[in-house]
Amino acid sequence: MPKPIVDEAKCTGCGTCASSCPQGVLEIQGGKAKVVNPDACIGCRVCESVCPEGAITVQD
């Protein structure tokens, strides 16, 4: 099952990943992206591709 991993050291909390995710897997909490619904991830990798900081990787 795919799962996005957020590198909090790189994340700036811009929210691009959260607003781009079609499944609502990510949210911005405390100024950083957090995986809040990992079971909903479909592995589309949109979050990974839109992150301007390269802070997200999707593990299969």
CA distance 7 to 56: 6
**Phi, psi of 51, deg, nearest 5:** -65, 115
Pinpoint the alpha helices (H) of the chain. 16-20, 46-50
What pTM does this model have? Answer: 0.93
Domains belonging to the chain, first-starting first, are: 3-59 (3.30.70.20)
The confidence score (pLDDT) of residue 33 equals 98
pLDDT tens over the chain, length 60 residues: 999 999 999 999 999 999 999 999 999 999 999 999 999 999 999 999 999 999 999 999
Handedness of CA 60, 51, 15, 5 (dihedral sign): positive
